[in-house]
Structure 1
Amino acid sequence: MDNGLRTARHARQWSQERLVREIERHAQQHSLAVASSVSLHVYVSEWENGKRSISERYAKILRALLGITDDELYGRRAALTVPAEVDGYDELMSRIDTAQRISTTMVKTLTEQTELLRTVDRQMGAASLIDQVTGHLATLEDALTFAVLPETRRPVARALAGAATLAAWQALDVGAVERAWRHYELGKRAAKEANEPMYLAHATAEQAYVLCDAGRPAVAVELIRNAQHVGNQMVSPRLKAWLYAAEAEICAKAGMPDDCRRALDNATRCLPPGEEARDPDMLSIFLNEGHLNRWRGNALALIGDNEAVDNLYGALDVIDPTFIRASAGLRCDLAQAHLARGENDLVRDHLRQARLLANRTGSVRHRRRIDQLSQRL
């Protein structure tokens, strides 16, 4: 039975009718031919009950709409990727030669592709990128599988670590938590092989958010502190500040206000001065004083500190408008801060704007938080 479709639809709190409308809207935007509305209603019901198989034409649309892989769409666990059986040494050597070419000439291009995917993700969300990200990871994994010598493998492993961590955060955003966890594990393995403690610390710290979202904030605190220990003195000052800021947020969610404030002080102490946000040693890290003010406001709002509001409005004044998902999170933070002060009209206003932004990116994670905050009004 194709229950994976039903699970993904429920994660977005869509009715079958809403899914049909989204299929039609997507088809119209991309000039695709689909069945009539009446037929689509029948298809969706039959797909979810295993009475009709999903053709590749519709599977492609559903993957883009829901941000899920084929395995998740069809309700089956991801199979362990095993190279196709090779027919003698010639085929094997051909794949090894291909991996060698990738490691020496294409790693820079593949890394640039990761950054392009990161940029599109910030502005459009993760759901629309599922096919591109899946293919990108497969290329890098295959290259690493058939790379031979350490000097060949390390650059590929480094590129894979960055791509896997991005894919994991995207999976977490669309509610695919098991996929997120597996991608973080892949990123950590690749970082270890590449001997890149910064990538390992970053992947480990972000993985703590999976635990936190799953209702295990105390274990998440332990994991993010382990990430700081993993990085030790080998991480850049900006990444160190990022790790402390993440610790502060998770400590707030774990009900540890003193630890939260201490981590925020450490983040402020470590953050390099200036407007520059991107870490040249870790391209996935964006953090300057404006970003840290937003993070501080988020953490302080979670522990009910009145200082949160000033920090958050300061962050709202300087946030990059292309960071759509971050803007949705900031609106949620402001709603939380005003909720603690009993300012319900402002809460509703920020939640309304947060929902509009979350709908643009298809963020299940933000929609879930919006619904939780709405229920507290």
Structure 2
Amino acid sequence: MLTVASTASLRVYVSEWENGRRTISSRYAQILRTLLGITDDELRSAPLSPPTLRQADGYDQLIGRIDEARNVSRSMVKTFMDQTELLRTIDRQMGATSLVDETTAHLTRLEDALTFAVLPATRRPVALALAGAATMAAWQALDVGAVERAWRNYELGKRAAQEAEEPMYLAHATAEQAYVLCDAGRAEIAVHLVREAQRLGGQRTSPRLRAWLYAAEAEICARAGLRSDCNHAFEQAMRHLPAGGEARDPDMLSIFLNEGHLTRWRGSVLALIGDAEAVSSLYTALDTTDPTFIRASAGMRCDLAQAHLARGEYDEAQKHLRQARLVASRTGSVRHRRRIEQLTQRL
């Protein structure tokens, strides 16, 4: 049974609550939530008012948000995508640690726009922009070690891709999510998930994305110890990769993959399975790597260290780990620092 103040005191309390001069205690919050039918967040963030007035104000506010979302034009969606691209570029060159607030705010704006959009003609373009942004945000979160946030953002990206009816975005988000499982030590499940991503993409997947999906499968199979599956997946990746030096997929701007990138990726995978060819493949890739891919260079140095360790070349491995540590410190990559420490323990 709850004990409350006298009627006179309650009148004073209500006046002070309404004017913000008194904080609502947990005891009275429990009573007020029941009387007013609102959540604790709503109770503490909005002034107390009679239920009829509160409902009227709520409808007015809701219609305002719906009208605002209806006015989201194609040009505004392009602006959202341009912001995602800017965040992706900064991340690639400087790392994700400094982008947490900007990325979170960007996702919030997109989620709000989608939440209050009503008709499919408005919802689908916004959902597509959200799918790309959420997948980017998930990879950034994974890089800084925020694994639960990464998982939730991948789920958000997948839901948005489904609403946008864009199987390429759904496949990409699903395949990247498999890396969370890999990093958590569940490579066997990750293999199933990356193969599910290929199924989800289906025939509407672009050749470059299809090659990327096969390369991701090869890496995850290597981490699961499935050597023959790994080799087969890489053969498929090389078969589907479009010819030429162009790296960016015009159908999906988050995908960068050309022969040079695939050579580096193959070297990384060969290092994982202890193949002697890994070293030469990785040095070839190192000479042709795009200098703007700063964060990726830490991964390549880790790959070279792993390849040299497999050959018993400890001095060379140590040299690459020192360089990888410098880059990882510069970009704030927790994921790379974790791998560097794991490799250092093998020296």
**TM-score higher than 0.5 here?**
yes
Matches within 5 A, 1:48-197: 87-197=57-167
Work out the CA distance in 2 between the residues paired with 1:246 and 1:235: 15
- How far, CA to CA, are the matches of 1:157 and 1:334 in structure 2? 40
Q: Which residue of 1 aligns with 2:301?
A: 331
Which residue of the other structure, out of 183, 198, 206, is the alignment partner of 2:176? Answer: 206
2:223 to 220, 243, 253: 253
Is the CA contact (8 Å cut-off) linking 1:103 and 1:156 kept in structure 2? no
Instruction: Say whether 1:354 aligns with 2:345.
Output: no
Residue in structure 2 matched with residue 344 of structure 1 by the alignment: 314
Q: Match of 1:306, as an amino acid?
A: A
Q: What CA distance in whole angstroms lies between the structure 2 residues aligned with 1:103 and 1:93?
A: 18
Segment drifting more, 104-113 vs 222-231: 104-113
One-letter amino acid of the structure 2 residue matched with residue 110 of structure 1:
F
Give yes or no for contact 1:124–1:360 (8 Å, CA) kept in 2. yes
Deviation per residue, 1:265-312 (Å, 9 max, x gap): 000000000010000000000000000001100111100111111111
Alignment of 1:276 with 2:229, yes or no, is no
**Deviation of residue 152 (structure 1)?**
0.6
> Structure 1: where are the runs of 5+ without partners?
1-78
What is the aligned partner in structure 2 of residue 55 from structure 1?
none
Task: Give the equivalent residue in structure 2 for 1:26.
Answer: none
Instruction: Provide the rounded CA distance (Å) in 1 between the counterparts of 2:267 and 2:215.
Output: 11
Partner of 1:302: 272
Aligned positions of 1:308-327 closer than 5 A = 308-327=278-297
Equivalent residue pairs, number: 296
Letter in 2 for 1:376: R
Shift of 1:203: 0.1
In structure 2, the partner of 1:219 is 189
Unaligned 5+ residue runs, structure 2? 1-40, 47-53
Which residue pairs with 2:29 in the alignment?
none
CA distance in structure 1 between the aligned counterparts of 2:211 and 2:220, rounded to whole angstroms: 14
User: C-alpha separation between the residues in 1 aligned to 2:289 and 2:220?
Assistant: 22
1:371 Cα offset (Å):
0.3
Between 87-96 and 338-347, the greater mean CA deviation after superposition:
87-96
2-structure distance, mates of 1:121, 1:309: 27
- Please state whether the residue corresponding to 1:102 is helix, strand or coil: coil
Q: Residue 225 of structure 2: SS of its match in structure 1?
A: coil
Tell me the distance in 2 between the aligned counterparts of 1:157 and 1:343.
50
Match of 1:274, SS state, is coil
Calculate the TM-score normalised by the size of structure 1: 0.77
2:302 partner letter: C
Question: Cα offset for 1:94?
Answer: 1.3
- Structure 2 residue 203 is matched with structure 1 residue 233: yes
Deviations 1:95-125 (A, max 9, x none): 1121122244310001000000000001111
Query: SS state of the match for residue 255, structure 2?
Result: strand
In structure 2, distance between residues paired with 1:356 and 1:287: 26
Provide Cα deviations, 1:15-52, integer angstroms capped at 9, x if missing partner: xxxxxxxxxxxxxxxxxxxxxxxxxxxxxxxxxxxxxx
CA deviation profile, 1:208-251 (whole Å, cap 9, x unmatched):
00000000000000000000011111100000000000000000
Contact 2:211/2:236 (8 A) holds in 1: yes
TM-score by length of 2: 0.84
Conserved? CA contact 1:103–1:155, under 8 Å: no
- For residues 34-87 of structure 1, the C-alpha deviation after alignment (integer angstroms, 9 at most, x for no partner) is xxxxxxxxxxxxxxxxxxxxxxxxxxxxxxxxxxxxxxxxxxxxx9xxx99872
Distance in 2 between residues matched to 1:311 and 1:101, nearest whole Å: 52
Contact 2:72 2:122 in 1 (8 A): no
1:275 and 1:288 in contact (8 A); partners too? yes
- The residue aligned with 2:339 is 369
Calculate percent identity across the aligned residue pairs: 75
In structure 1, how many angstroms separate the alpha carbons of the residues matched to 2:293 and 2:71?
35
Cα deviations by residue, 1:137-156 (Å, 9 ceiling, x for unpaired)? 00000000000000110000
Q: Residues of 2 paired with 1:314 and 1:111: CA distance? A: 34
- State the alpha-carbon separation in 2 of the partners of residues 316 and 199 from structure 1: 29
